[in-house]
Structure 1
């Protein structure tokens, strides 16, 4: 068990990559907090894992709200008395070409994908500092490294996440906290699977490994960075993209 008795908060944990991460972490002995805005899916997943005898807790949260995040963290500490791991996985897209992107869609993506990472980390770090231990993993994207057509807002947030990751690694390394990021490529989520088959085939064709990533591929990267196997890694951006950009 690589995460035995570790307490992990996984934001956006009710669906997609976050859901896969919850299952992976639970199977490795972690006590998982599913932190998500989607209350129906979160409660359903909580019950599913509890039926398997797993130690899991769902807490509804809007990561874009500092008050909501602080309440979530307070509930985790009241229940578990510690937080070992924070996975800043929650994120949304509101894609459009620059000339058609609305201010509302630009702001909402920044609020969730960027401010949400800031809010969660700021709320959790003081507790980690007091214990001299912590693992923080932020979700970036290949779009944040290389850019992507129609994703001005999304790419901007994911690039900023890289900057925050490296900054926090420098700020908190001496406090016993590792801060890293994962940059997924094209991954088989519900959103991607709804795309036309022709589009999916094109996406596969430009990936060196000639396939889309599975949600488990990203979850396993989270697991590595959350485990003691990565104890001497910090400030790193781990690309899990099948070699899409080499």
Structure 2
């Protein structure tokens, strides 16, 4: 039970990679807060998982673009659970549009959720973890945090920012007992890909030397490692979990 007695917050925890990460932590003995938007499936998922596992599973509504909501998420989680040992900074959205056509509103929305939101959550987590003397923050970056891709200016800018933000936070936080790392997923088989036709889907599969898309639980396993004491000497890392996608592109 690698997370026995630990309390975890997962943003974007109501579906996909986030939900898989919530369940893996519960399987390893943690209590977990699902943080997601009001109106998401988070409340139902938390109730379902709370009945299944020994650790508590709670839902807290949180929009990561709102500093007050983020700060309240941590204050309420500490009030109910007593501490926060690990955070998966996972909330994010996609965005595909030619750079000469993307509007200010579209560009800034992606940046505010995928980069500024990561900072808001990390800042709130650091304040709690500094006070309690330790913890682990894992930011969800991307393969597109290390190289470019056409028509993804806002997304690649945000994810590249997450990678370097992670390094900077890791340097600051290490002397205070807090580790900060990032995960760079390849293309993962989640509901976000359901809108793609078969040709496009197979095209994505072909970009991964391992011959398939990733599964949400494979990213969850990487989060579990980085969040746990098994990764006690790992900080400032960007762990690529991408089926070899970036191996020939670096």
Q: TM-score range by the shorter chain?
A: over 0.9
The TM-score, its normalising length taken from structure 2, stands at 0.96
- Displacement, 1:71? 1.1
1:117-136 matched pairs, under 5 angstroms:
117-136=118-137
Give the Cα separation in 2 of the matches to 1:2 and 1:83: 15
1:62-81 matched pairs, under 5 angstroms:
62-81=63-82
Change in CA separation of 1:183 and 1:104 when aligned onto 2, cut-off 3 Å: same
Q: What's 2:2 paired with?
A: 2
Q: What's 1:105 paired with?
A: 106
Q: Higher helix share goes to which structure?
A: 1
Q: What's 1:30 paired with?
A: 30
Q: CA offsets per residue over residues 193-234 of structure 1, 9 Å max, x none?
A: 331111111111121101000001100000000111100010
Please give the root-mean-square deviation of Cα atoms over the aligned residues, in Å: 1.0
Give the Cα separation in 2 of the matches to 1:123 and 1:177: 13
- Tell me if structure 2 keeps the 8 A contact 1:91–1:113: yes
- Displacement, 1:39? 3.1
Give the Cα separation in 2 of the matches to 1:39 and 1:81: 26
Contiguous gaps of at least 5 residues in structure 1? none
Q: What's 1:46 paired with?
A: 46
Farther-moved stretch of structure 1 (122-131 vs 16-25): 122-131
1:223-242 matched pairs, under 5 angstroms:
223-242=224-243
- Tell me if structure 2 keeps the 8 A contact 1:180–1:237: yes
1:53-64 matched pairs, under 5 angstroms:
53=53, 54-64=55-65
- Displacement, 1:38? 4.5
What's the secondary structure of 1:138's corresponding residue?
A: strand
Q: CA offsets per residue over residues 170-201 of structure 1, 9 Å max, x none?
A: 00101111110000011101011331111111
- Tell me if structure 1 keeps the 8 A contact 2:13–2:91: yes
Give the Cα separation in 2 of the matches to 1:96 and 1:173: 38
Q: What's 2:208 paired with?
A: 207
Q: What's 2:144 paired with?
A: 143
1:151-162 matched pairs, under 5 angstroms:
151-162=152-163
- Tell me if structure 2 keeps the 8 A contact 1:14–1:38: no
Contiguous gaps of at least 5 residues in structure 2? none
